[in-house]
């Protein structure tokens, strides 16, 4: 039986929760800690690098879906959130991309705190990683990379297993054909260009928070356990309420703090259930109000869609590789891709639309120097992750190309249907509710598809799109791109903003107006970052660990 009182209770054993629990318990040895996770402690499919790649309806994921998206012909999309110790770091595609320097500098300027700038967070990016540079990164800037952190971070050519995919040379050639330059280190603070994929994978093994961050004896981990609400005395947090598998309620007390690390959908849900959120929603649900805050507002996410391509002519071979065997490319090495590209779209029509459709704040973010607008990557397999029935894969040499929008100006919401903690939240990203977003996504797809249709390299091998109506072939008009989007659109699962810094939490992640309550996860990110969120979340959790340790090390 677990004790009923701890100094700190962390709700959510995902990426941030595991990092915080490890760092805090190791440094504050005279305090007690409880980490609560709704899912199991482990799952056999987590450790292999491709163990949950392309998986669906997994028992270690929450069964979250969006509401039908009006701008996408009613398309419903899956929203991945890990339900296992380690959270998203245990089920993601393992990409490790920090983002652009200017984004963090704007974050710091927005809240008036230089700790959240690129230079402020850089020590924590470094602290979290052991970086293994790829073959093309000859001169590693050791001032921006870690050498002794818990997470092994490898560029694909240094990931410990052979990755000599035959299409590697083809991909670099077609990127260059449209003027995309090579960026040897996407994690240097400059993201633009095409770069070698960097991921938290080494020797075919996933590097995830629950495995790589150790626990101390003063930390209790409670898995397969659901928290129904945070408990208050006025605005002072006193603990949390659990519900057992039989439905019985149990109260656990926190002497110092409750820290919510339940994710972009879970943390706002718990706050609203506890009486912290929009007053109108609390009243509608019959929940006694503690604080009126815009919890669940400002939801952002990265939207993407796929196109599929086949090579009817002879395979474009890389150097002297004449067939794809395990000695050339180990299938367990990680997701089957080598490069990704981050792009800006500064065409006059895009800029005019931005000037006329955005608020002053959103326009400033849109115009940030070197901030990417979109991302493109090519996977050497048939990958259809939409919620609709899967298209039939073609035989022979194929690749799937993902067109990703990483700078959305649309904002969505997370709402509750009832005061029952067992009910899933209502997720509405409101994708493409601003026409600028649609035009930027189309610009991304159009440039990438044109390089597959018109480049000399692609024509040499007779590259053709498949998985579409013949009437759409080689058609990159808005209408044709919209048809593809409505068929294969999906979330990249990079949500943020629902407990945004500046409106719901302060710059130390304290819930504004409450005492002894913090939120530390992706929900605090105030505006969308043009990257994959795993690396930023490690840095955020590492920095906030130091903040909390400094506050309590003499208590």
* Binding residue positions for FAD: 84, 227, 522
DSSP helix, strand, coil percent of the chain (3-state; round to 5): 30, 25, 50
Return the closest-CA partner of residue 305 out of 469, 448, 186.
Answer: 448
Count of beta carbons in the 10 Å neighbourhood of residue 126: 19
Return the closest-CA partner of residue 18 out of 150, 199, 154, 205.
Answer: 150
Residue 144, helix vs strand vs coil:
coil
Return the closest-CA partner of residue 539 out of 15, 12, 14, 9.
Answer: 15
Residue 229 per-residue DSSP state: E
Residue 495 per-residue DSSP state: -
Q: Which of 106, 145, 403, 532 is an active site residue?
A: 532
Active site residue 382: no
CA atoms within 13 A on the CB side of 194: 22
Report DSSP letters for 46-112, one per residue.
TSBTTTTTT--S-TTB--EEBPPBGGGTTB--EE--B-STTGGGGTS--B-----HHHHHHHHHHHT
In degrees and rounded to multiples of 5, residue 178 shows phi and psi of -110, 15
Q: Which of 145, 366, 382, 494 is an active site residue?
A: 494
Which structure tokens are listed for 59?
């028992």
Long-range contact pairs involving 466-471 (C-beta distance under 8 Å, separation at least 24): 466/308, 466/309, 466/310, 466/394, 466/398, 467/307, 467/308, 467/384, 467/391, 467/392, 467/394, 468/307, 468/308
CA 14 to CA 261: how far, in whole Å? 7
In degrees and rounded to multiples of 5, residue 120 shows phi and psi of -70, -40
Which structure tokens are listed for 29?
């040895």
Active site residue 197: no
Exposure string over 62-80, b if 16+ CB within 10 A, otherwise e: bebebbebebbeebebbbb
CA torsion 484-375-340-365 (nearest 10°) is -170
Residue 462, helix vs strand vs coil:
coil
Question: How many Å is the maximal CA-CA distance in the chain?
Answer: 71
Q: Name the one residue in this structure whose structure tokens are 């054909």.
A: 177
| 447 sits in which H/E element | helix 435-454
The answer to whether residues 310 and 464 touch, using CB atoms and an 8 Å cutoff, is yes
Residue 131's alpha-carbon distances to 143, 154, 159, 203, 431, in angstroms, are: 12, 6, 10, 14, 35
Cα dihedral 399, 341, 459, 464 sign: positive
CA 274 to CA 268: how far, in whole Å? 10
Active centre residues (catalytic): 494, 532
């Amino acid at each position: 039986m677990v004790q009923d009182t701890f100094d700190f209770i962390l709700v959510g054993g995902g990426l941030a929760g595991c990092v915080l629990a490890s760092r805090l318990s190791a440094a504050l040895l005279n305090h007690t800690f409880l980490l609560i996770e709704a899912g199991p402690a482990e799952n056999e499919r987590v450790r292999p690098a491709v163990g949950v790649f392309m998986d669906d309806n997994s028992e270690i994921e929450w069964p979250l879906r969006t509401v039908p998206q009006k701008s996408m012909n009613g398309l419903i999309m899956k929203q991945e959130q890990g339900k296992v110790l380690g959270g998203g770091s245990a089920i993601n595609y393992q990409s490790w991309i920090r983002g652009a320097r200017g984004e963090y500098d704007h974050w710091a300027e927005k809240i008036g705190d230089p700790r959240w700038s690129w230079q402020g967070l850089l020590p924590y990016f470094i602290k979290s990683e052991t970086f293994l540079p790829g073959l093309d990164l000859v001169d590693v800037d050791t001032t921006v990379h870690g050498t002794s952190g818990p997470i092994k971070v490898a560029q694909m050519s240094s990931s410990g297993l052979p990755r000599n995919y035959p299409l590697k040379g083809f991909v670099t050639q077609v990127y260059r054909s449209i003027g995309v330059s090579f960026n040897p280190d996407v994690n240097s603070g400059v993201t633009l260009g095409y770069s070698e994929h960097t991921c938290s994978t080494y020797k075919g093994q996933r590097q995830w928070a629950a495995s790589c961050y150790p626990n101390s004896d003063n930390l209790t981990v409670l898995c397969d356990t659901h928290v129904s609400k945070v408990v208050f005395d006025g605005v002072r947090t006193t603990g949390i309420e659990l519900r057992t598998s039989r439905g019985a309620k149990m109260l656990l007390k926190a002497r110092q703090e409750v820290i919510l690390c339940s994710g972009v959908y879970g943390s706002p849900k718990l706050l609203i259930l506890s009486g912290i959120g929009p007053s109108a929603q609390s009243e509608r649900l019959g929940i006694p109000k503690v604080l009126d805050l815009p919890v669940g507002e400002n939801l952002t996410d990265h939207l993407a869609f796929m196109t599929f391509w086949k090579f009817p002519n002879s395979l474009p071979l890389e150097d002297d590789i004449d067939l794809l065997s395990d000695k050339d490319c180990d299938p367990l090495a990680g997701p089957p891709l080598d490069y990704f590209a981050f792009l800006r779209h500064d065409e006059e029509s895009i800029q005019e639309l931005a000037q006329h459709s955005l608020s002053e704040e959103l326009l400033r973010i849109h115009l940030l120097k070197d901030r990417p607008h979109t991302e493109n990557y090519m996977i050497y397999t048939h990958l259809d992750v939409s919620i609709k029935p899967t298209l039939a894969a073609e035989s022979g040499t194929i690749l799937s190309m993902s067109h990703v929008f990483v700078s959305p100006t649309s904002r969505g919401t997370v709402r509750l249907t009832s005061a029952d903690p067992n009910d899933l939240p209502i997720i509405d990203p409101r994708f493409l509710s601003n026409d600028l977003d649609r035009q930027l996504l189309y610009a991304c797809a159009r440039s990438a598809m044109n390089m597959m249709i018109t480049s000399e390299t692609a024509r040499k091998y007779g590259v053709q799109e498949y998985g579409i109506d013949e009437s759409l072939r080689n058609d990159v008009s808005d209408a044709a791109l919209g048809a593809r989007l409505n068929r294969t659109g999906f979330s990249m699962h990079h949500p943020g903003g629902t407990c945004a810094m500046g409106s719901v939490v302060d710059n130390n992640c304290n819930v504004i107006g409450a005492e002894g309550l913090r939120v530390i996860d992706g929900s605090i990110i105030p505006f969308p970052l043009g990257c994959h969120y795993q690396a930023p979340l490690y840095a955020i959790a590492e920095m906030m660990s130091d903040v909390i340790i400094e506050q309590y090390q003499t208590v």
